[in-house]
Structure 1
Amino acid sequence: MNKGDVAIYACVIIGAGIGLYLGSAIPGVLIGLGIGYLIKMNMKRDHE
């Protein structure tokens, strides 16, 4: 497992936690997934 995948998983879990706190986990998970992919793409671009 590389660092980009760990970033995605971490953002999804954090998003789910925030979503549960606000009353609905699914939107938080989706927002976390999107942010995780953006972080992964940024990490990949920095290594090139």
Structure 2
Amino acid sequence: MKQGDIIIYGCVIIGAGVGLTLDNSFPGVLIGLGAGYLLKTFFRKEE
């Protein structure tokens, strides 16, 4: 598994957890997914 994938999965799980505390898990997952992709591109190594 690549490091970028781990960042995305972690953000999705955190987003789902925050969404469950607010009684809406699906929007939390989507926000976590978007944040994961942003973090993945931010921390991507220059080749």
TM-score interval (norm. to shorter):
over 0.9
Q: Match for residue 43 of structure 1?
A: 43
Which runs of 5 or more residues in structure 2 are unaligned? none
Q: Match for residue 34 of structure 2?
A: 34
Please provide the CA RMSD for this pair.
0.6
Aligned residue pairs: how many?
46
* TM-score normalized by the length of structure 2: 0.92
Which runs of 5 or more residues in structure 1 are unaligned? none
Q: Which has the higher helix share?
A: 1
